[in-house]
Amino acid sequence: MVGYRSADSPVIYIYHRDHEHDRAYTENLVEHLASKGVLWRSIAVREDGLRPELQLSLDENATAVLGYNSVLDHSWLPSGRFLEAAERCGVPVLQWILDRPSHRWMEFYASTSTNSRFLLNSEHERKYFNTYCLPGALTATIGGVGPNQRSRIGTLPREAYLQRSIACMIPLGLRRYQSTKQIEDTQNALAPPLSEVLRDAIAKAQFDLTGSLQSHVAAALAASDQTVTNQTFHDLCRIVEQSVQTFRRLRIFKVAQKYPVLIQSDDSAAPFIGGAASLATNVGMQYTLARMPLCRAVVSVSPMNGMIHDRTMNAVNAGCVAIAEDNSAVKGLLRHKVNALLFRYENDSLDECLDIVCNRPERAYEIAQAGLQLRDHPRMRFGEFDNILKLAIRRG
């Protein structure tokens, strides 16, 4: 445990897989907790599901226990399910769903509205969870995983910025999303009218950077006078997300080929990268964070319109020009050509952004310098991390 705990001091136990993503998220989280004077203990769990190390949080009467996705849902003590033991001991369990709940909820099987509380990345996702996953559960928004100290620089001298060796980095995975053909095959496998519902929802969601993805699915169902189970609704939302994210990523790759940018992706992106762009495959998160201070700009894509992506936060942290989608989360904080560059998918705005950072470095420096002033803004530094403790001590 970090710090000395008095009888009334809150302490959060964080259990996570021994994976670089989970370790980075935990680094961000404990930085916030420490800044608020909250004690914490971080423990990597075993992979086999039998996790006696969780007993420590119950023995020491933790204020709350936090885990990512379904790690705690799948955890057992020698005496039985961890969630049941925590409920008996009166220890709140917070489960942070890092992805869309439509994608993750199928993994949960032991969680109830009384043995767990849930953190969602955006208000859109929180409403989705409360409607289609576990109505009645205590929930809160978290605003994304936050920036990491590895990307943080000190000052941003003009000459140092202009000498950065990478004009623009585009860290953008593709493998987790289906190919265009796979998506078409999935749609064609559905009998009408659900296949038409999907096509309608996808067409509306591709260019929408303001509303929720589920609103397009619900509207398409209503227009076709269809009612489906929650499970089918999850399935439809997953297919729409796959299609939208594949479309957006391939569009970025197509535009980026005109410029001397560094694209970081997986092997599946190779057929779509050429021209002036270069490709680095299978680069880890921590190396990406450490590489950001070498870049003049970083492009990020958020899977949720209501969330500022952590790559945008880390770009600001590193003194880069943050090139981000012009979504609902950035409104009022990031301003195009002032402290960031914003783009949409239905026009040539991404071309304009890449032209500035690749061909007009002096102009890019002005934007990067203004963006750097935002890195300690509450929304940019820790998002809505304050909701963690609020949810832990909430009563009904």
264 SS3 class: strand
191 & 257 share domain: no
Q: Are residues 256 and 365 in the same domain?
A: yes
Are residues 318 and 256 part of one domain? yes
Biggest CA–CA distance in the chain, Å, is 63
pLDDT of residue 347: 97
With beta carbons less than 8 A apart as the criterion, state whether 278 and 262 touch.
Answer: yes
Residue 75 lies in a domain: yes
- Specify if 2 maps to a domain: no
Q: What is the pLDDT tens value at each position of the chain, 396 positions in all?
A: 555 555 568 999 999 999 999 999 999 999 999 999 999 999 999 989 999 999 999 999 999 999 999 999 999 999 999 999 999 999 999 999 999 999 999 999 999 999 999 999 999 999 999 999 999 999 999 999 999 999 999 999 999 999 999 999 999 998 877 777 787 777 777 888 999 999 999 999 999 999 999 999 999 999 999 999 999 999 999 999 999 999 999 999 999 999 999 999 999 999 999 999 999 998 999 999 999 999 999 999 999 999 999 999 999 999 999 999 999 999 889 999 999 999 999 999 999 999 999 999 999 999 999 999 999 999 999 889 999 999 999 987
The residue among 226, 246, 266 that closes a domain is: 246
H/E run at residue 123: helix 123-128
Do 80 and 189 lie in a common domain?
Answer: no
Whether 3 is covered by a domain: the verdict is no
DSSP assignment, residue 380? Answer: H
Output the six-digit token pair for 267: 């092997």
DSSP SS3 for 117: strand
- Residues 236, 263 share a domain: no
> Residue 140 has what pLDDT?
98
CATH number of the domain enclosing 63: 3.40.50.2300
pTM, entire model: 0.94
Which CATH number does the domain housing residue 335 bear? 3.40.50.2000
What pLDDT was estimated at residue 6?
A: 54
Q: Answer yes or no: is 4 within a domain.
A: no
pLDDT at 188 (0 to 100): 77
Domains contained in the chain, number: 3
Question: Residues 156, 278: one domain?
Answer: yes
132 falls within a domain: yes
Asked if 332 and 285 sit in the same domain, the reply is yes
Q: Are residues 53 and 129 in the same domain?
A: yes
* Closest C-alpha to 124, from 146, 150, 97, 152: 97
Q: In whole angstroms, what is the distance from residue 333 CA to residue 371 CA?
A: 10
Please state, in angstroms and rounded to a whole number, the distance separating the CA atoms of residues 40 and 110. 25
Question: CA-to-CA distance for 312 and 63, rounded, in angstroms?
Answer: 32
Neighbours of 107 (CB within 10 A): 13
Give pLDDT, residue 349. Answer: 98
Residues 162 and 276 in one domain: yes
Where do we find the tokens 């916030």? 32
Residue 210 lies in a domain: yes
257 plus 363 within the same structural domain: yes
Q: 172 is in which domain, residue-wise?
A: 149-177+249-380
The structure tokens listed for 325 are 């989608």
**5 falls within a domain:** no
Does 285 lie in the same domain as 206? no
Q: Last residue of a domain, which of 246, 279, 294?
A: 246
pLDDT at 150: 94
Distance CA 278, CA 268 (A): 14
Are 159 and 136 found together in one domain?
no
Structure tokens at 257: 């080929």
Cα angle vertex 182, ends 175, 215, to 5°? 85
Point out the domain boundary residue: 223, 246, 269.
246
Task: Provide the pLDDT for residue 175.
Answer: 81
Residue 6 inside a domain? The answer is: no
